[in-house]
Amino acid sequence: MKRYSIMILVGLLALSIIVSGCGNKGASNTGANDNEKGKPAEISIASWNLQADALEEAAEKFNKSQSEVKVNVRRVSNSYDSIVPALTAGIGAPDIVAVQMRDFANFMGKFPDQFVDLSDELMPRKDEFSDAGWGASTKDGKIYAIPVDIAPTAVYYRKDYFEEAGINPDNLTTWDKFMKAGKKLQSKLDGVKMTTFSLTSNETYDFWQMIANQLGGRFYDEQGKIDFTNEANIKAMKLVKELKEKDLVVDSPSWNDRVRAVVNGETATIVYPIWWAGTVKTQAADQAGKWGIMPLPAFTEGGPNQANLGGSVFAVTTQSEHPEAAWKFLKYLLLTEEGQKIQMDYGLFPAWKPFYKSESFATVDKYFGFSLAKRFSELATDIPAMKFGEHFYDVSRPLETAFGQILNGKKDIKEAFKDAEKAASKASGLPVSK
């Protein structure tokens, strides 16, 4: 009897959801009924943390500016625990969902019919966005999401440490010069290492990805086969290993360890995207004016020196009753200076390049003494796209294992990466590139 009672309750709950109108896929009738009654088409957009804060401000201004669409912001966690069940069931999803850039290909693979094709709207404007934003948004030549923010990377450096050691950051144009400068700095400053990242946990991955991305590294070849042993990936790992062997790194296995290394003055630099600026400003407030920003060193003079780590996209779900209304809000949010300024005010660096020419980019950050946005905009013009694919979690975990084997001296780089390819192939079902 308990089993039948539960079944009845579940059935009644499902019926109530359907009656409430969630998940109706009448996309072809966008806003028609509401507009006929003189009511705005109501849509919802789901995101988390600072992005949700930015959306609330943007939605308020957008709602006041017109009467055809009303936007409601739904706060969710970045674990997607309230989004995935709705996409799986085909009912109850928001009109627009935020997805981390590296996760969206996985979403398209798991939910192939749940996102609206935005190619007609975005293909003519594709060049307006940073290339890094498109790596996860496209499938089979079609665009299913609009890039929101990207995370261009740089070397944050302690100006006072560099001055004391007689190092000019403008001269550190290659990684070889960076390492030589590190040896010089460490000989002059007791208790300070040149840089910091994880050497003993799976978070080594973040530093490696930035360097691999800089070189045009990849996880798959042109045919979609697993490819860890390409030249860029191996070259990036060689740098990670060399930095360790030359004793230039404060090992910081976790995020909190990296924060402590900076707060305690144990590191002269840290390589991270623009979003690190917010952390150093709040956690090391007493170091205001001491931090500068320089581009990533290249591997050869004049070589590529731009990379990305992070970012997100917005996708319109096919469950939306008002996809045209959803697109209207996205145009305001991401294709106007007013909407992008709101995003930037909350620390979301825009993927939309025309905004880089706006006056907002000239605003001087009091902590750093220069315009963060302008400085990072110069580091976001030629970031290689990195495709994470539908099986990213399956392919990334064997790589993390390989990093540990390499840094512990158990395997050489190529051997460890080849073994990781086999493990990733077994986990994902994808073949290994030859």
> Which residue range(s) make up the domain with 245?
153-307+391-428
Same domain, 81 and 223: no
Same domain, 290 and 189: yes
Domain presence at residue 21:
no
Domain presence at residue 114:
yes
Per-residue pLDDT at 37: 62
**Measured CA distances, 367 to 119, 216, 266, 356 (Å):** 41, 33, 20, 21
Per-residue pLDDT at 152: 93
Q: What is the CATH number of the domain that holds 216?
A: 3.40.190.10
Same domain, 287 and 421: yes
Per-residue pLDDT at 127: 94
Same domain, 147 and 157: no
Same domain, 339 and 358: yes
Same domain, 266 and 361: no
At 62, which amino acid appears? F
Domain presence at residue 3:
no
Per-residue pLDDT at 35: 52
Per-residue pLDDT at 50: 83
Domain presence at residue 366:
yes
Overall residue count recorded for the chain in this entry: 434
Per-residue pLDDT at 252: 97
Q: Report pTM.
A: 0.79
Same domain, 135 and 80: yes
Return d(Cα 317, Cα 89) in angstroms, integer: 13
Same domain, 100 and 187: no
Residue ranges in the chain modelled with pLDDT below 70:
1-37
Per-residue pLDDT at 18: 34
SS3 per-residue string spanning the chain: CHHHHHHHHHHHHHHHHHHCCCCCCCHHHCCHHHHHCCCCEEEEEEECHHHHHHHHHHHHHHHHHCCCEEEEEEECCCCCCCCHHHHHHCCCCCCEEEEEHHHHHHHHHHCCCCECCCHHHHHHHHHHECHHHCCCCEECCEECCEEEECCEEEEEEEHHHHHHHCCCHHHCCEHHHHHHHHHHHHHHCCCCECEEECCCCCCHHHHHHHHHHHCCCCCECCCCCECCCCHHHHHHHHHHHHHHHCCCEEECCCHHHHHHHHHCCCECEEEEECCHHHHHHHHCHHHCCCEEEECCCECCCCCCCCCECCCEEEEEECCCCCHHHHHHHHHHHHCCHHHHHHHHHCCCCECEHHHHHCHHHHCCECCCCECHHHHHHCCCCCCCCCCCCCCHHHHHHHHHHHHHHHHCCCCCHHHHHHHHHHHHHHHHCCCECC
Domain presence at residue 185:
yes
Domain presence at residue 364:
yes
Same domain, 206 and 160: yes
Per-residue pLDDT at 172: 98
Same domain, 130 and 33: yes
Same domain, 165 and 303: yes
Contact residues for 238 (Cβ-Cβ < 8 A; gap 6+): 413
Contact residues for 278 (Cβ-Cβ < 8 A; gap 6+): 347
Same domain, 229 and 159: yes
- Give me the number of domains the chain comprises: 2
